[in-house]
Amino acid sequence: MPFLGQDWRSPGWRWVKTEDGWKRCEPFSPALEDGSNQLNDISHTVILTGDDEDEEIYSTEDCEFAAKKRKKDHFRNNTDSQCFYREKWIYVHKESTRERHGYCTLGEAFNRLDFSSAIQDIRRFNYVVKLLQLIAKSQLTSLSGAAQKNYFNILDKIVRKVMEDQYNPRLIKDLLQDLSSTLCILIRGVGKSVLVGNINIWICRLETILLWQQQLKNLQMNKQVNNGLTLSDLPLHMLNNILYRFSDGWDIITLGQVTPTLYMLSEDRQLWKKLCQYHFAEKQFCRHLIPSEKGHIDWKLMYFALQKYYPIKEQYGDTLHFCRHCSILFWKDTGHPCTASDPNTCLMPVSPQHFIDLFKF
* Model confidence pLDDT, tens digit, residues 193-243: 567 777 788 888 999 999 999 999 888 776 665 667 777 788 888 989 999
The pLDDT, as a whole number, for residue 361 is: 60
The pLDDT, as a whole number, for residue 111 is: 84
Give the pLDDT band of residue 99 (cuts 50, 70, 90): low
115-157 per-position pLDDT tens digit = 888 888 888 999 999 999 999 998 888 888 888 889 999 999 9
The pLDDT, as a whole number, for residue 39 is: 42
The pLDDT, as a whole number, for residue 196 is: 76
56-93 per-position pLDDT tens digit = 444 455 555 555 555 555 545 444 433 344 567 888 87
The Cα 14–Cα 184 span in angstroms is: 38
The pLDDT, as a whole number, for residue 223 is: 67
The Cα 199–Cα 207 span in angstroms is: 13
Give the pLDDT band of residue 47 (cuts 50, 70, 90): very low
Q: Residue 89: enclosing H or E segment and its boundaries?
A: strand 89-91
The pLDDT, as a whole number, for residue 129 is: 93
pLDDT at residue 261 greater than cutoff 70 = yes
pLDDT at residue 38 greater than cutoff 60 = no
The Cα 56–Cα 50 span in angstroms is: 7
Q: Give the angle subtended at the CA of 52 by the CAs of 49 and 57, to the nearest 5°.
A: 40
Nearest to 348, CA basis, from 340, 327, 357: 327
DSSP secondary structure letters along 145-207: HHHHHHHHHHHHHHHHHHHHH---HHHHHHHHHHHHHHHHHHHHTTTTS---S-HHHHHHHHH
The pLDDT, as a whole number, for residue 316 is: 86
For residues 332-353, give the mean pLDDT: 85
User: Over the chain, what is the mean pLDDT?
Assistant: 76
Indicate the residue type of 284.
Q
